């Protein structure tokens, strides 16, 4: 009989990843690209962090997890430069595409200007009057 308990992600994530890796190997599936990798880039101005980006590659899909730019440095090319670094990393990893989620109050047009395409839009989420976008960039 098995038991299900609540766990913390950081305590179980590595174990679950190892289980998935082993299952993939057991099924005879091999990939040219690394199964998973992570990237983070930080933008500095005068030794002060003004923005950054994090992304995770899983099976050739590079998912941008976080992108944030200090408000007084927005619209000055910082975000575009950070996106470019992730695109370069994704190409080196032989990824197929980049994927991300953003909201209408954030920057969907910024991503569209940087070559992303809209895959999906959910209106009135996460609350009435807002929208969630899923965007993709093919490499």
Question: pLDDT tens, position by position, for the chain (139 residues)?
Answer: 988 889 898 888 888 878 887 888 899 887 766 667 889 999 999 999 999 999 999 889 999 999 999 999 999 999 999 999 999 999 999 999 999 999 999 999 999 999 999 999 999 999 999 999 999 999 9
Residue 19: predicted pLDDT: 85
Record the pTM: 0.83
What is the rounded distance in angstroms from the CA atom of residue 51 to the CA atom of residue 45? 9
Residue 34: predicted pLDDT: 63
43 with 69: CB under 8 angstroms? yes
Residue listed under structure tokens 């980049």: 98
Residue 48: predicted pLDDT: 95
CATH number of 33-138: 3.40.630.30
Tell me the CA distances in angstroms from 109 to 48, 75, 132, one per residue in order.
27, 12, 13
């Amino acid at each position: 009989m098995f038991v299900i308990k609540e766990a913390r992600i950081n305590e179980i994530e590595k174990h679950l990843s190892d289980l998935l890796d082993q299952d993939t190997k057991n099924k005879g599936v091999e990939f040219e690209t690394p199964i998973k990798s992570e990237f983070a880039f930080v933008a500095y101005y005068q030794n002060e962090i003004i923005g950054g980006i994090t992304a995770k590659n899983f099976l050739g899909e590079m998912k941008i997890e976080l992108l944030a730019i200090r408000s007084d440095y927005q619209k000055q090319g910082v975000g575009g430069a950070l996106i470019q670094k992730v695109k370069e990393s994704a190409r080196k990893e032989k990824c197929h595409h980049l994927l991300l989620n953003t909201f209408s109050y954030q920057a969907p047009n910024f991503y569209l200007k940087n070559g992303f395409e809209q895959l999906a839009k959910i209106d009135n989420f996460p609350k009435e009057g807002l929208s969630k976008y899923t965007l993709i960039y093919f490499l």
